[in-house]
Amino acid sequence: MEHKGTKIIETERLILRPFQMEDAEVMFRNWASDPEVTRFLTWPTHRNIGDSKQIIQEWVGKGEDPENYQWAMEWKESHEPIGSMGAVRIDNRTEAVTIGYCIGRSFWGKGFTAEALREVIRFFFDEVGMNCVNSCHDPRNPNSGKVMKKCGMTYEGTWRAGGVNNLGVCDESWYSILKEEYYGGKKH
């Protein structure tokens, strides 16, 4: 396993790239200030652009850390970030990474998140050498689980009262994909 940090990843419609301080206003406008977007997340709805600037400053400050993975999901058509995706937990002993993501409400249901997650899974297996990529969602947000399934992840189970989000203590439905499942017997 060799950590690479937040490298630029391109998909058909997106450029996944490190955040820049200039992204704060767009982040605030496109998703971070919307309580409907942040409803099932573990971080609070941003009250003002200052909140968005603060978190981006943290991410930019970790830019040289090879174990920092925090992507802005930039839509090629608008040249603006429409969401974020990142590693919320890394376990180097088991070579596992937990992915979190969110996307602006006006971009829901268009396949952007699955498109980004597929490439992030590929990146973690092909370039970093992870053995397992996993993610979880509040079962009251089933569309997030649909994204995980579309990307080949397997439902592992629901940890009852296993997490906390903006609605309080919540269940967490977990999904994962192993390197051997991803490659499906293909040489790599």
109-158 pLDDT, tens digit per residue, is 999 999 999 999 999 999 999 999 999 999 999 999 999 999 999 999 99
* Domain ranges across the chain: 9-183
Phi, psi at 7, each rounded to 5°: -85, 155
User: Tell me, which fold does domain 9-183 have in CATH?
Assistant: Aminopeptidase (3.40.630)
Rounded alpha-carbon distances, angstroms, from residue 177 to 18, 86, 105, 154: 24, 16, 27, 6
* Residue pointed to by tokens 């992870």: 130
Distance CA 147, CA 64 (A): 30
Distance CA 54, CA 8 (A): 22
**Full-model pTM:** 0.95
Mean pLDDT (the chain, rounded):
96
> pLDDT at position 39, please?
96
If one counts every other C-beta atom within 10 angstroms of the C-beta of residue 180, the result is 11
98 - beta bridge partners? Answer: 89, 134
**Residue 168 buriedness (CB in 10 A; 0-12 / 13-18 / 19+):** exposed
With a pLDDT cut of 70, the percent of the chain lying above it is 98
- Residue 91 pLDDT exceeds 70: yes
> pLDDT at position 188, please?
47
